[in-house]
Structure 1
Amino acid sequence: MHRSRVYALLIDTPEAEASDAAAFWSAALKAPAEPDPEQGQFTVLHEAVPGIVAAVQAVDDTARYHIDIETDDVEAETARLVALGARQEAQWLECRILRAPGGHLLCVIPVHSDPEFFNSRATSWP
């Protein structure tokens, strides 16, 4: 058995436009924007979507949205999503990058939330 939950909504933006996008989304959602000091490609939009992290991510690709699913077992969650029809596209560190039916990207990542919060919100899978 493993557990998972939606952890983040990422607004992927071409790197050259990321600062303007972060300012726009911060104002549009009335969410204070703060660059992540550890991972500079992210600007967190605090409380934009209660219960999950929302952030602008500078990417060297086209603009899009994607979600991150956090889990206590990356391999099991990846296998579950692949069995549902997703395709694994890549791996970056511990993150598995998948493409869902319909073409949307999603990432499967280890638990990033506070453990108590994760335990109270995660879904259990057989």
Structure 2
Amino acid sequence: MHRSRLCNLVIDCQGTDLAAATTFWSRALGKPVENPDEDGDGRYASLETAPDELKILIQCVDHPSRVHLDIETDDLDAEAARLEALGAKRIGFVKRWWVMEAPTGHRFCIVRRQTEDFGPHTNRWD
């Protein structure tokens, strides 16, 4: 048995100006900047959201700009296998998460648990 849930809305911004992208999205969404440099590498920032909202991440990327979702789980490989059984495919392992592609062509990520408690919207899978 493992658990998973939708946890992040990730705004992929082509380019390297994380500060400018973060400022724009912070102002556009009315969300203060929580952390202007999540990993200290100038590629990831987060906006402040309420506990019952998705976390919003800003990410500098090399590919064209888009938005993707993150699914958090307490078992990365079990969740990847579950989603593969539904028709998704693994694209690659990056740092500490799986990049996946849905049968619809949409990219998304499976990430490790992001919070101490999964909360009320957790799925349990056998």
- TM-score computed with the length of structure 2 as normaliser: 0.87
List runs of 5+ in structure 1 lacking aligned partners: none
Aligned to 2:106: 104
Distance 1:38 1:12 in 2: 16
Residue 124 of structure 1 deviates from its aligned partner by: 0.4
User: Kindly tell me: are residues 16 and 36 of structure 1, through their superposed partners in 2, closer, same or farther at Cα, counting changes over 3 Å?
Assistant: closer
Distance 1:16 1:76 in 2: 34
Cα distance per residue 1:45-91 (max 9 Å; x no partner): 11179432101101121101111111011111001111111111101
Aligned to 1:15: 15
User: Kindly tell me: are residues 9 and 100 of structure 1, through their superposed partners in 2, closer, same or farther at Cα, counting changes over 3 Å?
Assistant: same
Distance 2:28 2:50 in 1: 10
Q: Which runs of 4+ in 1 moved over 6 A?
A: none
Amino acid at match of 2:19: S
The correspondence for 1:87, drawn from 63, 86, 89, is 89
| Alpha carbons 1:31, 1:46 under 8 Å: kept | yes
- TM-score computed with the length of structure 1 as normaliser: 0.87
Which residues in structure 2 correspond to 1:5-84 (within 5 Å)?
5-33=5-33, 34-39=35-40, 40-47=42-49, 50-84=52-86
| Alpha carbons 1:29, 1:48 under 8 Å: kept | no
How much is the aligned-residue C-alpha RMSD, in angstroms? 1.9
Amino acid at match of 1:36: D
> Would you tell me which structure has more helix in proportion to its own residues?
1
Residue 17 of structure 1 deviates from its aligned partner by: 4.5
Percent of residue pairs bearing the same amino acid type: 38
Report the number of matched residues: 124
Residue 97 of structure 1 deviates from its aligned partner by: 0.7
User: Kindly tell me: are residues 37 and 65 of structure 1, through their superposed partners in 2, closer, same or farther at Cα, counting changes over 3 Å?
Assistant: closer
SS at match of 1:16: coil
